[in-house]
């Protein structure tokens, strides 16, 4: 007989896929989740803007300072700093920094919320009333993640680039004009598209993993703690894998 | 009428129900009794399809609830009102919104009509002026009463109570028992009470089903229960002092 340690992850994957299938089937019951969707878009998206912008700002600023440090040579034009910082933010940092921050902020919140609802029988209560609990709880959260993560990615990247320009200009590394000129020199319109795609995928991963962990919580307060931690940690791990997979497949 | 036919249920290696069958007649009040962990709540959750049996059938008003689509099952569940052990009130909503939730979701009532209905339901469970409170601000007994008001919001045909008096003081327990009795006496209401509180059983039930060793060990009316000479049932019933009045503590051992 196969060891349970090998079977458990396969069982979990099956349960996750089934949950998402049920969620997908509930998509046409718009009236169940419409009201919650806007609430979740605010909680997941709008309320995350400050922390995501802050993380983006510092990422862009640090990246600029460190790139300037590495490329300090009379033979290299300073505008190259802009050519490196902007695509790095657009392709990688904007999406990944947003993803990691939101795995903690959004993933943990969703898992704790649904986990508590599960252990206090609130999910059973929804079902007992004759409501589709997956449509009511999971669909709006995953949709809000998928809709709002690209917005947050744009925020993080935009603020990050602005942070880079600001630090370059006021730190006397290069002028804002040189920075922008460097950025435009190697700009490819495909880059932001790829970043948006990543944000979309990360949004889906974080919210769906957190919903799965929360929805199937068992074992009281300790179970809620475990689900919350697992949701945040697993989302981060899956983001790393998805990030590599997307880069290999698409770039 | 609910018919449970030969259901088996295991959770991993743990066998909880084995070949369980019982018929719940219309308008009766059935108490499902048994020790903690005997499978009472598992059986109860089968009645409205919250748990699916490994084998066997649950027939509600002629419909096998595990053979119908999820949409039809949800439709069927609206015949039920359920009082959960901890109340299961939505803690993200006020008391008013908790009570209005089923009405807003499933009825065509206007907001004014909903407000009137919520007030009426709160009056029914003898609570007033708590509409704006959050569930966290309520005492255990008040939570149960609000949950009861929510369970009856859509005037269900079947009301299921999961341990309605557990964790409550005797006086509050009596209030809850009185409420259950008055709700059960309404026409066309069938009540199923899962409990280990024999005082509740004696106060409200018409019949009792005793679960022991994964099976319904004994089922009969309350009068029959007093006369039953089944040793396992008698031991369970005797453990509750209400069967023969308070035990005599003055007698020397």
H or E element: which one contains B165?
none
Residues A212-225, mean pLDDT to the nearest whole number: 95
Residues A177-200, mean pLDDT to the nearest whole number: 94
pLDDT at B37: 83
Residue B83 belongs to domain with CATH number: 3.40.50.300
Digit-coded pLDDT (tens) for A131-177: 999 999 999 999 999 999 999 999 999 999 999 999 999 988 889 99
C-alpha B81/C-alpha B186 separation (Å) is 14
Residue B240 clears pLDDT 80, i.e. is over it: no
Spatial strand order in the sheet of B207-212: B80-83, B158-162, B190-195, B29-34, B207-212, B215-221
CB contact under 8 Å between A128 and B102, yes or no, is no
Q: Contact at 8 Å (CB) between A107 and A235?
A: yes
Query: Which chain B residues are Cβ-neighbours of A117 within 8 angstroms?
Result: 90
C-alpha B225/C-alpha B229 separation (Å) is 9
- Which residues 104-123 on chain A approach chain B with CB closer than 8 angstroms? 116-117, 120-122
Domain final residue pick, B194, B218, B245: B194
Q: Contact at 8 Å (CB) between A115 and A214?
A: yes
Q: Which residue segment(s) compose the domain that B62 sits in? A: 1-21+38-75
Residue B49 clears pLDDT 70, i.e. is over it: yes
Percent share of chain B, pLDDT over 70: 95
Q: Could you write out the three-class secondary structure of chain A?
A: CCCHHHHHHHHHHHHHHHHHHHHHHHHHCHHHHHHHHHHHHHHHHHHHHHHHHHHHHHHHHHHHHHHHHHCCCCCCCCCHHHHHHHHHHHHHHHHHHHHHHHHHHHHHHHHHHHHHHHHCCHHHHHHHCCCCHHHHHHHHHHHHHHHHHHHHHHHHHHHHHHHHHHHHHHCCCCCHHHHHHHHHHCCCCHHHHHHHHHHHHHHHHHHHHHHHHHHCCCCHHHHHHHHHHHHHHHHHHHHHHHHHHHHHHHC
CB contact under 8 Å between A130 and B78, yes or no, is yes
Least Cα distance to B190 among B62, B25, B43 occurs for B25
**Which residue in chain B has the smallest CA separation from A134?**
B70
Give me the residue label for tokens 């983001």: A239
Hey, is the C-beta of A127 within 8 angstroms of any chain B C-beta?
yes
Q: What is the pLDDT confidence band of residue B249, given thresholds at 50, 70 and 90?
A: low
ipTM: 0.89
pLDDT at B35: 87
pLDDT at A169: 92
- Which residues 127-166 on chain B approach chain A with CB closer than 8 angstroms? 154
Asked if B134 and B62 sit in the same domain, the reply is no
Query: Which chain B residues are Cβ-neighbours of A132 within 8 angstroms?
Result: 70, 74
**Which residue in chain B has the smallest CA separation from A136?**
B105
Our CA-based measurement puts residue A129 at a distance from the nearest CA of chain B, in whole angstroms, of 6
Domain count for chain B: 2
Digit-coded pLDDT (tens) for A3-47: 777 888 898 999 999 999 999 999 988 888 988 999 999 999 999
Q: What is the pLDDT confidence band of residue B242, given thresholds at 50, 70 and 90?
A: low
DSSP B206: S
Residue B245 clears pLDDT 70, i.e. is over it: no
Digit-coded pLDDT (tens) for A73-111: 888 888 999 999 999 999 999 999 999 999 999 999 999
Query: Which chain B residues are Cβ-neighbours of A127 within 8 angstroms?
Result: 50, 77
Contacts of B228 (CB under 8 A, 6+ apart): B218, B220, B234
Residues A217-229, mean pLDDT to the nearest whole number: 94
pLDDT at B250: 54
| Residue B201 included in any domain | no
Residue B241 clears pLDDT 80, i.e. is over it: no
Residues B237-242, mean pLDDT to the nearest whole number: 72
| Residue B241 included in any domain | no
| Residue B208 included in any domain | no
Burial bucket for residue B181 (CB in 10 Å: 0-12, 13-18, 19+): middle
Q: CA torsion A37→A147→B74→B33, rounded to 10°?
A: -80
pLDDT at A32: 86
pLDDT at B244: 45
Hey, is the C-beta of A11 within 8 angstroms of any chain B C-beta?
no
Query: Which chain B residues are Cβ-neighbours of A114 within 8 angstroms?
Result: none
| Residue B148 included in any domain | yes
Asked if B85 and B155 sit in the same domain, the reply is yes
Asked if B93 and B68 sit in the same domain, the reply is no
CB pairs under 8 A between A and B: 46
pLDDT at A58: 97
**Which residue in chain A has the smallest CA separation from B89?**
A122
Hey, is the C-beta of B77 within 8 angstroms of any chain A C-beta?
yes
Digit-coded pLDDT (tens) for B162-195: 999 988 888 889 989 999 999 998 888 999 999 9
Residue B243 clears pLDDT 50, i.e. is over it: no
| Residue B247 included in any domain | no
Hey, is the C-beta of A130 within 8 angstroms of any chain B C-beta?
yes
Instruction: Choose, out of A121, A123, A132, A214, the residue to mutate when testing the contact with B (most B CBs < 10 Å).
Output: A121
Q: Contact at 8 Å (CB) between B203 and B181?
A: yes
Residue B203 clears pLDDT 50, i.e. is over it: yes
Asked if B176 and B98 sit in the same domain, the reply is yes
CB contact under 8 Å between B77 and A130, yes or no, is yes
The phi, psi pair for B211, rounded to 5°, reads -95, 130
- Please tell me which of the candidates B75, B77, B84 has its beta carbon nearest to residue A121: B84
C-alpha B248/C-alpha B250 separation (Å) is 6
| Residue B243 included in any domain | no
């Amino acid at each position: 007989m196969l060891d349970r340690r090998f079977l458990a992850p396969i069982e979990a994957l099956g349960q996750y896929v089934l949950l998402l299938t049920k969620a997908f089937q509930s998509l046409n019951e718009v009236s169940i989740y419409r009201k919650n969707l806007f609430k979740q878009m605010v909680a997941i998206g709008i309320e995350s803007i400050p922390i995501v912008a802050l993380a983006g700002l510092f990422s862009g600023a640090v990246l600029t300072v460190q790139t300037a440090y590495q490329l300090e040579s009379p033979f290299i034009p300073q505008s190259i700093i802009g050519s490196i910082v902007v695509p790095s933010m657009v392709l990688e940092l904007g999406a990944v920094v947003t993803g990691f921050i939101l795995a903690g902020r959004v993933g943990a919140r969703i898992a704790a919320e649904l986990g508590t609802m599960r252990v206090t029988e609130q999910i059973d209560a929804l079902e007992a009333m004759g409501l589709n609990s997956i449509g009511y709880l999971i669909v709006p959260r995953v949709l809000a993640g998928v809709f709002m993560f690209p917005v947050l990615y744009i925020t993080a990247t935009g603020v990050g680039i602005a942070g880079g320009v600001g630090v370059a200009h006021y730190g006397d590394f290069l002028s804002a004009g040189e920075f922008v000129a460097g950025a435009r020199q190697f700009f490819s319109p495909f880059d932001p598209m790829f970043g948006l795609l990543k944000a979309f995928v990360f949004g889906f991963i974080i919210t769906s993993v957190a919903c799965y962990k929360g929805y199937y919580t068992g074992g009281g307060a300790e179970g809620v703690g475990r689900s919350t931690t697992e949701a945040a940690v697993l989302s981060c791990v899956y983001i790393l894998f998805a990030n590599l997979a997307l880069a290999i497949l698409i770039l | 009428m609910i018919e449970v036919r030969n259901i088996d249920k295991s959770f991993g290696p743990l066998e909880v129900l084995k070949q369980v069958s019982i018929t719940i007649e219309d308008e009766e009040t059935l108490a499902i009794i048994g020790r903690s962990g005997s499978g009472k709540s598992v059986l109860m959750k089968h009645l409205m399809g919250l748990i699916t049996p490994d084998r066997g059938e649950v027939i509600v008003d002629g419909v096998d609830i595990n053979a119908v689509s999820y949409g039809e099952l949800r439709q069927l569940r609206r015949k039920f009102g359920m009082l959960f052990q901890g109340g299961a009130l939505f803690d993200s909503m006020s008391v008013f919104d908790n009570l209005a939730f089923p009405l807003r979701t499933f009825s065509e009532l206007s907001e004014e009509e909903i407000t009137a209905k919520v007030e009426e339901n709160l009056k029914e469970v003898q609570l007033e002026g708590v509409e704006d409170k959050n569930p966290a601000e309520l005492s255990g007994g008040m939570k149960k009463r609000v949950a009861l008001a929510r369970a009856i919001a859509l005037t269900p045909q079947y009301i299921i109570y999961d341990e309605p008096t557990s964790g409550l003081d005797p006086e509050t327990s009596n209030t809850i028992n009185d409420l259950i009795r008055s709700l059960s006496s309404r026409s066309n209401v069938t009540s199923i009470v899962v409990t280990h509180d024999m005082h509740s059983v004696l106060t409200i039930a018409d019949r009792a089903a005793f679960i022991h060793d994964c099976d319904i060990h004994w089922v009969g009316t309350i009068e029959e229960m007093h006369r039953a000479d089944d040793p396992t049932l008698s031991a369970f019933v005797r453990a509750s002092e209400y069967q023969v009045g308070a035990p005599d503590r003055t007698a020397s051992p």
